[in-house]
Amino acid sequence: MELANIERLLDKYLNAETTLTEENELKNYFLGDNVAPHLEEYRVLFEYFSTSKNERFTKSIQLNSKKKHWKWLSVAASIILLVSVYTGYEKKQERKAEKIYKETQFALEILASNLNKGTVAIAQLKEFERTKNKIFKQPKRNKK
């Protein structure tokens, strides 16, 4: 075989563009005795493929039924889902209560400031009444 043809086929092989007959040509070349020194590294690859073709796994494979695991896994997933929903609901209720608390606090502050204004107004009215009573002294009535 021509060395140029083998190099061209090897390039095609490395690019996964060869046909089965071309791959057989390469296999026969690399398993033979006349391999070019600069292509010697590919000999190991083709030798491995030819020996691994005959290998068989002879041990038995034991498959365990995992149905029980799936059952417990689904129970655990359900519990996690319930806990997360409950926690989310709790946090939502907590935020709602916090918002209501702040609104109530704001309303009570407004009420307190209005009551303070009313207290000041009543104090002014009492002062006005006292001053009026001083100016317009009312005579004391005798009781019979």
59 φ/ψ angles, rounded to the nearest 5 degrees: -75, 150
Residue written as tokens 């109530």?
104
53 band by pLDDT with thresholds 50, 70 and 90 = confident
Q: Give tens-digit pLDDT for 96-141.
A: 889 988 998 998 998 888 888 888 888 888 888 888 888 887 666 6
Cα distance between residue 85 and residue 83, in whole Å:
6
- From 5, 47, 34, select the one nearest 22 (Cα to Cα): 5
Please state, in angstroms and as integers, the Cα–Cα distance from residue 119 to each residue in 80, 106, 113, 129, following that order. Answer: 57, 20, 10, 15
Q: How many angstroms separate the Cα of 43 from the Cα of each of 22, 30, 40, 85, 109? A: 16, 5, 5, 63, 91
Mean pLDDT across the chain: 83
Tell me whether residue 26 is exposed, middle or buried, using C-beta atoms within 10 angstroms of its C-beta: 0 to 12, 13 to 18, 19 or more: buried
What's the pTM value of the predicted model, to 2 decimals?
Answer: 0.39
Q: Is the pLDDT of residue 45 over 70?
A: yes
Amino acid of residue 99: K
